[in-house]
Amino acid sequence: MVQCGEHNLLVRAQLDLFGTRHLIKAADLTLGTAGCQPTRVYPENQTVLFDYGLHECDDWLTERTSTLYYLGDLIHIEASVSMANHVSLKLYIDRCVATLSPDKDSTLRYSIVDYNGCLLDSKAEDSFSTFVLPRDGRKPDKLQFDLDAFRFYGDE
């Protein structure tokens, strides 16, 4: 069971995930890339509850340890600029591309942000790509967005 509120997310899961009558340990279940633990365990009906704010488990505090994504996953991207020795700055992204090599002008490339900051995937009807809003006014040096995982045609 999943309930999305305006500010929080409730997820209730059975400890018998596969219907085999073999329960898994509640401590082995986590939510999101931040690894949020269940907030409550209900032994009487063998379920666990996750009750978190909408962005508490997309934590943006640590670098992802794996570079492997599956189609349907969201890729969390953060751009930042050092504020050391500068007057206050606000970060904007004009253009961002993904390539198979470090060469930004590679012939195989996918435009993520273009046209003065437009997140191109967000225009697609079935896309979940979006800028993370509201932008934290206390951190104008960071810009975060989610991107639907994709694959270059013909690449393994």
pLDDT confidence band for 9 (50 / 70 / 90): confident
Torsion angle of alpha carbons 53, 55, 60, 65, nearest 10°? 90
Say what the pLDDT of residue 86 is.
Answer: 66
pTM of the model as a whole: 0.59
What residues does CATH 2.60.40.3210 cover in the chain?
Answer: 2-53
Q: Give the up-direction half-sphere exposure of residue 117: CA atoms within 13 A in the CB hemisphere.
A: 7
CATH superfamily membership of 74-148: Zona pellucida, ZP-C domain (2.60.40.4100)
Q: Give the CA-trace dihedral at 38, 39, 42, 43, to 10 degrees.
A: 60
Q: Say if residue 44's pLDDT is above 90.
A: yes
Q: What is the pLDDT of residues 116-132, one digit of tens each?
A: 889 998 888 888 888 88
Q: Between these two residues, 33 and 20, which has the higher pLDDT value? A: 20
Dist CA 66 CA 86 (whole Å):
33
Nearest to 8 by CA among 45, 50, 38: 50
Q: What is the pLDDT of residue 33?
A: 66
Superfamily of domain 2-53: Zona pellucida, ZP-N domain (2.60.40.3210)
Predicted pLDDT at 59: 60
Query: According to CATH, where is 2.60.40.4100 located in the chain?
Result: 74-148
CA atoms within 13 A on the CB side of 66: 7
